[in-house]
Amino acid sequence: MGASLWILLAAFGQLEFEEELIETVFEIFNITLFLMAAMALVEIVAHYRVFDVIQAKIFKTRPTDRKQFLTITALTFIFSALLDNLTTTIVMIQIARKFFKDRNLLIAVVGIVIAANAGGAFSPIGDVTTIMIWLAGKFEATEVIVDGILPALALYLTMLGIMRPMIKESGFDAELEPIEPLSKSEKLVVFTAASSFILPIIVKFFHLPPVFGLLLGLGAAWILMDFFRHRKHAVRTHLSCTTEKLLSKIDLASIKFFTGILLAVSALSLTGVLNTMSGYIYGSGDSVVRVIWGNTFLGAISSILDNIPLTAIALDILPATDPQIWVQLALAVGTGGSLLVLGSAAGVVAMGMVKELTFEEYFKIGFKPALISYIVCIGVWWLQYSFF
């Protein structure tokens, strides 16, 4: 679709679009390379059993079902901000399947999806939509964290307060295979890969695209892995895996999807279609209240339509320069998808991993908590915006 629209513009359009085309290609290159580097670093962290170690530590405490729900969703919220919400959802559902069963498992998985979307919404690297807005220069990394963390936390705590009592104590006692501790070499590789997610924020101070920071971190982790892999080990460790093998696990289907979306939206922008959409959603005046309601509406719509194309469209039609307004958009499209299971990538993955989690079951369990939490999130943001 994206390629076809640009070909039609070139063949039949009466527009000069060389500069727009160059800008579009740079934007696509910037976002896709950033996502590929981030995916590779997450694969490295996961390969070295970091999440297995965390799971083992949770098991040692032998908590009750409700405490397990609190622990797992809290970790989901935190790791979604530090890594990304999709990977965190996959890992935490794998852990939850060893802790919960039957209806408790469905409740836990719904809680994980809502917590993952909330955690990713206030982090510049936590969700694809937030990454898109950040890389477009609509807000700085510190701005989305400072202005977004309280609303996102309010959303998570509201969900927790509603859903935690839904968990019934079952006395289910899971068994866990012993986990070997990480070696010093493995810890060094993991630390290098994990700390790489701070580098994009640092390189922004040098007026460089954030992708340079991730590439620097990925290169450092790659060198360490190759160095330790060629050393002689008395026993076989996870260091024997090559970086090339981990890179092959990158979700290229998602990369192609993002590329197509950005191509299509940029072509539609040149035709004037998006300006018409802007008038319907945000109005023709300079009303801030209308813009805020428009963002809130887009967030709710993201539960039905994919939030990635909605964000790509909003980047062209949202008439705002205030970073706080863009933070609200990130919160809205990032968390609004939790209303329905098909509204976010985390929900779709959860439905695929837990076959019992149908559209209907998710709606019964999660729609009301997600809706109330979404309203609380937008309300807390509005209070911040009004007073500060």
Residues 56 and 179 sit within 8 Å (Cβ to Cβ): yes
How sure is the predictor about 176, in pLDDT bands with cuts at 50, 70 and 90? low
Q: Could you tell me which residues come within 8 angstroms of residue 318 by beta carbon, excluding any fewer than 6 positions away?
A: 278, 282, 291, 294, 295, 325, 326, 329
Dihedral sign (CA 361, 365, 371, 377)? negative
Average confidence (pLDDT) over 367-375: 96
pTM beyond 0.85 = no
DSSP secondary structure letter of residue 180:
P
DSSP secondary structure letter of residue 150:
H
Digit-coded pLDDT (tens) for 287-345: 888 899 999 999 999 888 778 888 888 888 888 889 999 999 999 999 998 999 888 88
How sure is the predictor about 139, in pLDDT bands with cuts at 50, 70 and 90? very high
Average confidence (pLDDT) over 135-159: 94
Q: Which two tokens stand for residue 386?
A: 């009004």
DSSP secondary structure letter of residue 49:
T
Average confidence (pLDDT) over 193-206: 88
Residues 226 and 274 sit within 8 Å (Cβ to Cβ): no
Gap between the Cα atoms of 255 and 356, Å rounded: 29
| SS3 of residue 112 by DSSP | helix
Average confidence (pLDDT) over 362-375: 95
> Alpha-carbon Rg of the chain, whole angstroms?
22
In the predicted structure, residue 226 carries a pLDDT above the cut 90 = no
HEC letters along 273-325: HHHHHHHHHHCCCCCHHHHHHHHHHHHHHCCCCCHHHHHHHHHHHCCCCCHHH
Top mean pLDDT of 16-20, 194-198, 278-282, 359-363 is at 359-363
Gap between the Cα atoms of 211 and 82, Å rounded: 16
Gap between the Cα atoms of 130 and 83, Å rounded: 13
Q: How many CB atoms lie within 10 A of CB 256?
A: 12
The torsion defined by the Cα of 2, 7, 9 and 11, in degrees rounded to 10, comes to -170
**Worst-scoring range by mean pLDDT, 108-112, 252-256, 338-342?**
252-256
The fraction of the chain above a pLDDT of 70, given in percent, is: 93
